[in-house]
Amino acid sequence: MNSSDGSGFPLKKENLLPQEEILEIGNKKRMLRIGVAKESLADENRVALAPHAVELLINNGHEVLVENNAGTKANFTNVMYSDVGGTIVRNKPDIYSCDIIAKVASLNDEEFSMLKGKQVLFSSFQIGTQSKAYVEKLLKKKITTVGYEFFMDRRKELFPVVQSMSEISGTTSILIAAEYLSNTNNGKGEMLGGISGISPTDIVILGADTAAEYATRTALGLGATVKVFDCSVHRLRALQERLGYRIFTSILQPRILTKALKYADVVIGAIPPEKEMQTFVVSEDAVKQMKPYSVIVDLQIDQGGCFETSEVTSFKNPVYRKHGVIHYCVPNIPSRVARTASYALSNILGQLIIEMGICGGINQLLRQHDGLRTGIYTYNGILTKESIGNKFNLPSRDINLLMAAF
């Protein structure tokens, strides 16, 4: 007599064997709760997400809480955020209880105390000014942190946030120099650039990366004569190719650089620090030989500066004169044009969060986005950046290996 499962059909041998579980294939979209924080750091005027990015996030089904007056310094009002669906929050802890916290600068002690833990934080890290205690607090609360200065695009070719901010810094540095050459700011009363019958402004640019490139483009557009110095022939050649225009370029040879500085009206310091280089590209003796009322703009002041005479200044008191030379040494120049910089940051960050929601969360996105993994410096209570671990004597693990475990 054959056995039956109650359906009237006899049981077959293959029906009694263990069957494979059928699992859902693909990503499961997740709705995210995002907090846009107001910056408390002095001279930080940007906001992590502009209203247009908030609108995109809300249209994709996410909830966005915006701290009261978060965008005021970038001229984004509360009404602009609420009109696109953002929720204006006056209670600060509500922002820091969100799944994702979007900031520009790193957290302060008060903001740390409001974190609930196991959240995602987008912000800059600023390794040059950061402390071991800051990293340890992130690890204790198991915050997954994405540093703007670390993460790359999907092809791992560009640092998108660094690239955007460098473009802004380079372009703005020439406009700043123009201000301090004019009589309005007690300069020598010259127009940056040139007109018919008058010798053009002589500008020296130290560096050949993104900031230097955009400083060069802006200076040439205004009619100035530009000389570019860098320690890499490859970077100088690449700059010439990108410009499509032949300009004076030279390796950083002290004698040639000193001669160029003697005749310069403006000097832009845009060489990022490198271990093999001396601390200062331009010595104090070289600055002493520059023309009175010439202008130095040091774009690397937050990394120690390109000039031996550089000292950190602020937006409130941006310049000082030393050896007759005007020095502009304000860190974070993009904050000077906060609205533009906020748009640039939002274009990158907003899209990244949308991708995160589509994938189903940060873990799923990290598995798919190699470039984003380079931006993670703490992950679920584990330090993942060897450079940070070496600086603060903390153990670290490779994020790529961790992906297999979480």
Q: Strand 376-379 vs strand 144-147: parallel, antiparallel, or unpaired? A: antiparallel
Of 278, 210, 285, 208, nearest in space to 250 by CA: 208
Of 348, 347, 379, 377, nearest in space to 362 by CA: 379
Q: Please state, in angstroms and rounded to a whole number, the distance separating the CA atoms of residues 386 and 395.
A: 8
User: Six-digit token pair at 388?
Assistant: 């940070």
pLDDT digits (tens, 9 = 90+) for 82-138: 999 999 999 999 999 999 999 999 999 999 999 999 999 999 998 878 899 999 999
**The pLDDT of residue 127:** 82
At 184, which amino acid appears?
T
DSSP label of 391: H
Name the packing angle between helices 233-243 and 210-221 (round to 10°).
Answer: 40
Q: Please state, in angstroms and rounded to a whole number, the distance separating the CA atoms of residues 259 and 248.
A: 14
Residues of the chain with pLDDT under 70: 1-27, 273-279, 405-406
Query: What is the CA 217 to chain-centroid distance, rounded?
Result: 21
**The pLDDT of residue 404:** 74
Of 293, 331, 339, nearest in space to 314 by CA: 331
**The pLDDT of residue 63:** 97
Residue matched to tokens 């709760």: 33
**The pLDDT of residue 16:** 52
Per 3-state DSSP, what percentage of the chain is helix, strand, and coil (rounded to 5)?
40, 15, 45
**The pLDDT of residue 100:** 97
Beta strands in 7-95 (DSSP E): 33-36, 63-67, 87-89
Q: Domains of the chain (ranges plus CATH)?
A: 33-147+337-402 (3.40.50.720), 169-331 (3.40.50.720)
Q: Give the length of the chain.
A: 406
**The pLDDT of residue 1:** 47
Whether residue 226 contacts residue 290, with contact meaning beta carbons closer than 8 Å, is answered with no
Of 321, 269, 342, 380, nearest in space to 103 by CA: 342
**The pLDDT of residue 25:** 45
Q: Please state, in angstroms and rounded to a whole number, the distance separating the CA atoms of residues 168 and 341.
A: 7
43 contacts: CB under 8 Å, gap ≥ 6? 314, 315, 330, 331, 332, 335
Residue matched to tokens 């104090």: 284
